[in-house]
Amino acid sequence: MSNKLKFLFFILATVFASACSRSSDSKANKDSPVSGDILILCDESYKPLIQAQVETFHALYQYANIRVRYLPEADLFKEFSSNDSVRIAITARSLNKQEEEQFIEMKIIPRETKIAIDAIAFVLNKENPDTLLTYEQLKGILRGEIKSWKSIDPKTSLDSIQVVFDQNGSSTARFLKENFIQGESVPGNWYSIESNDEMINYVSTSPRSIGVIAVSWISDKDDPEVNEFLSKVNVVEISSPDTGQTTKEYFKPYQAYIALKKYPLTRDALIISREGRNGLGTGFASFVAGDQGQRLVRLMGMLPATMPVRIVKINQ
């Protein structure tokens, strides 16, 4: 039995137990931590995770209706600061100074909750054998200093490199700009597609491309859609930044390597709340950051913010 199926049985048992003590009075229109109707925003990087969290929350609380709008990061923050009907946002960064000042002017004090540690993953076409990249090679590719796969492997038949993102304004593109470009011009070989699905499909048909994706899209091995993605592409293993070691170790963006800080490209997943009362937005944020929500984060292959991950070392 899969871990996710076991978790579903756990949730159903909890629902049954809570139903026995639930009042028969209608709570559908009452805004509370477990009831009401709200709109929330979510970075598209975290769509698989938040879909699962919302479905589980709805299963537990029948009077709650959480509507989710999935957006690229740039559009998300514009709407979050201008649309007062939005209670919370799930994001890959904190508010910047300008955004904080906007909320202060509106006499709103946003609250931030860390819910997971995420990673940026890289995927290659199945025909590309270069699935091991040093951090320095990856940096050269992203900065446009390494423009050909022949610079990585002189024997390869592949030539020019394409770096492919999910879409314009995405949090993955912003993260790599901040960490590798640092104010310089974006290289001409960076391309954006329309979605993570389309990016995976593009890489699967373009041998010279390297795709950039949040790990939540490829970490849940119990999800048939994830397994379909992984059947089309290879996940790149990356070394830690150069420490002068002659022998390199390479790591995939797996939960254990994120926990051990071996995988070099990680970021925090956050919930930012602008809710001024103890309503459904606060209830959902507490659920995701609490025991049941963190179990779901772990079962989906991401690193929970508060729940320890058991790492077993096998001696060979």
Q: Write the DSSP string, 73-108.
A: HHHHHHHHHH-TTEEEEEESS---HHHHHHHHHTT-
Rounded Cα–Cα distance for residues 96 and 54 (Å) = 27
Given this chain, do its domains 3-117+268-304 and 119-259 carry the same CATH topology? yes
- Amino acid identity at 154: P
- Which pLDDT does position 20 carry in this prediction? 42
Structural domain spans, the chain = 3-117+268-304, 119-259
Confidence of residue 21 (pLDDT cuts 50, 70, 90): very low
Rounded Cα–Cα distance for residues 166 and 182 (Å) = 20
Rounded Cα–Cα distance for residues 297 and 255 (Å) = 10
- Which pLDDT does position 29 carry in this prediction? 66
Domain covering 119-259 in this structure, CATH number: 3.40.190.10
pLDDT in tens, 213-256: 999 999 988 888 888 889 999 999 999 997 666 668 999 999 99
The superfamily in CATH containing domain 3-117+268-304 is Periplasmic binding protein-like II (3.40.190.10)
pLDDT in tens, 265-312: 999 999 999 998 899 999 999 999 999 999 999 999 899 998 666 655
pLDDT in tens, 58-81: 999 999 999 999 999 999 999 999
